[in-house]
């Protein structure tokens, strides 16, 4: 698998909400070979603070040259990134990991929560380009309209039907994405592609298991190296032992993982 460590130029920095940022980076090397579900490790500071790169899903690719990351400011690394300026360079390592396995012959449903929606944008665009006759359904949720509305528009712009949910009811269903998914009455053989908080992915996995739908999940564990060289990202697997979510994942068949049901 090819990866590049590159100084990539920020060509655009957009603020989609008070703490949600989209950065477009100029990297033909990464953009040409990235597939949906893969991620990059980004050095967020100038020196060694923070020491570790931060992982971000590739959320869009365009013209074989540019790719985007979409993130929420949650700590030091993301706060530093949010203060970057267009024209500056970021050190980026990628594309990394193993992405979604797509089946173009069935009903596909993308299910995302919070910033877990980021990789699904790339996936939705990829599916609609490769198979315009079989567009996926999109079920996405966030805390409030402000966080969700720009992303709903992104999916709608590529012609996809979006079913939103918000915690406060300000956009779409008042509640969780799992409720929306249940109400869609998907046919047997449907496939779900999921990314978001652990409890949400677990709920979707359990529902899919009950219905006999296949379910792939993208695990957003913490990561140190992003390349299989440490044990920072391990997740327990059903067959026993652990998998590296940076290398064997981040996308897994949900049945492969050993879920922690509380």
Ligand X SMILES: Cc1cc2nc3c(=O)[nH]c(=O)nc-3n(C[C@H](O)[C@H](O)[C@H](O)COP(=O)(O)OP(=O)(O)OC[C@H]3O[C@@H](n4cnc5c(N)ncnc54)[C@H](O)[C@@H]3O)c2cc1C
Using CB under 6 A, list all residues that contact ligand FES: 223-226, 228-233, 244, 246
Euclidean distance between CA atoms 148 and 72, whole angstroms: 12
Choose the one of ligand FES, ligand X, none that binds residue 112, judging by a C-beta under 5 to 8 angstroms depending on kind.
none
184 lines the binding site for ligand X (CB under 6 A): no
Order across the sheet with 108-113: list the strands: 173-174, 161-166, 137-142, 108-113, 191-195, 214-218, 251-253
Euclidean distance between CA atoms 59 and 134, whole angstroms: 21
Choose the one of ligand FES, ligand X, none that binds residue 196, judging by a C-beta under 5 to 8 angstroms depending on kind.
none
When the beta carbons of 136 and 249 are compared against ligand X, the nearer one is 249
**Which of 8, 27, 35, 78 forms a contact with ligand X (CB under 6 A)?**
78
- Residue list 112-131, contact with ligand X (CB under 6 A): 115, 118
Cα 48 to Cα 45, 137, 225, distances in angstroms:
7, 42, 14
Given a contact cutoff of 8 angstroms between Cβ atoms, the answer to whether 97 and 225 are in contact is: no
Euclidean distance between CA atoms 171 and 189, whole angstroms: 29
Choose the one of ligand FES, ligand X, none that binds residue 118, judging by a C-beta under 5 to 8 angstroms depending on kind.
ligand X
Radius of gyration for the chain, computed over Cα atoms and rounded to the nearest angstrom: 17
When the beta carbons of 70 and 186 are compared against ligand X, the nearer one is 70
Choose the one of ligand FES, ligand X, none that binds residue 229, judging by a C-beta under 5 to 8 angstroms depending on kind.
ligand FES
98 lines the binding site for ligand X (CB under 6 A): no
70 lines the binding site for ligand X (CB under 6 A): yes
Choose the one of ligand FES, ligand X, none that binds residue 76, judging by a C-beta under 5 to 8 angstroms depending on kind.
ligand X
Choose the one of ligand X, ligand FES, none that binds residue 72, judging by a C-beta under 5 to 8 angstroms depending on kind.
ligand X
CB of 85 to ligand FES, least distance (A): 29
Q: What are the two backbone dihedrals, phi and then psi, of residue 172, each rounded to the nearest 5 degrees? A: 70, -150
Given a contact cutoff of 8 angstroms between Cβ atoms, the answer to whether 70 and 140 are in contact is: no
**Residue ranges with strand state E in 63-103:** 66-72, 89-96
CB of 231 to ligand FES, least distance (A): 6
Q: Is the peptide bond before 24 cis (omega within 30 degrees of 0)?
A: no
Can you tell me which residue has the tokens 């049901």? Answer: 261
77 lines the binding site for ligand X (CB under 6 A): yes
Residues ≥6 apart with Cβ < 8 Å to 258: 235, 236, 237, 238
Choose the one of ligand X, ligand FES, none that binds residue 225, judging by a C-beta under 5 to 8 angstroms depending on kind.
ligand FES
**Which of 222, 231, 238, 260 forms a contact with ligand X (CB under 6 A)?**
222
CB of 181 to ligand X, least distance (A): 21
Can you tell me which residue has the tokens 């060694």? Answer: 48
Site residues, ligand X (CB under 6 A) = 39, 50, 54-57, 59, 69-72, 74-78, 115, 118, 220-223, 250
């Amino acid at each position: 698998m090819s990866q590049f460590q590159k100084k990539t130029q920020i060509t655009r920095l957009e603020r989609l909400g008070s703490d949600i940022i989209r950065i477009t980076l100029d990297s033909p090397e990464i953009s040409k070979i990235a597939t949906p579900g893969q991620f990059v490790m980004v050095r967020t500071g100038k020196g060694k603070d923070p020491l570790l790169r931060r992982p971000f899903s590739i959320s869009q690719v365009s013209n074989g040259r540019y790719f985007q990351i979409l993130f929420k400011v949650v700590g030091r690394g993301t706060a530093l990134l949010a203060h970057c300026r267009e024209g500056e360079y970021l050190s980026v390592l990628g594309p990394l990991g193993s992405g979604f396995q797509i089946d173009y012959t069935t009903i596909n449903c993308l299910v995302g929560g919070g910033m877990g929606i980021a990789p699904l944008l790339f996936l939705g665009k990829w599916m609609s380009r490769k198979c315009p006759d079989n567009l996926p359904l999109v079920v996405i949720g966030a805390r409030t309209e402000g966080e969700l509305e720009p992303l709903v528009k992104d999916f709608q712009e590529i012609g996809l039907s979006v079913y939103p949910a918000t915690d406060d009811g300000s956009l779409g269903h008042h509640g969780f994405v799992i409720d929306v998914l249940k109400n869609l009455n998907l046919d047997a053989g449907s496939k779900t592609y999921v990314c978001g908080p652990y409890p949400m992915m677990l709920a979707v996995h359990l529902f899919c298991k009950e219905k006999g739908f296949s379910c792939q999940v993208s695990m957003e564990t913490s990561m140190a190296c992003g390349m299989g060289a440490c044990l920072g990202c391990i997740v327990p697997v059903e067959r026993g032992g652990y998998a590296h979510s940076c290398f064997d994942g981040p996308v897994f068949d949900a049945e492969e993982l050993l879920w922690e049901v509380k």
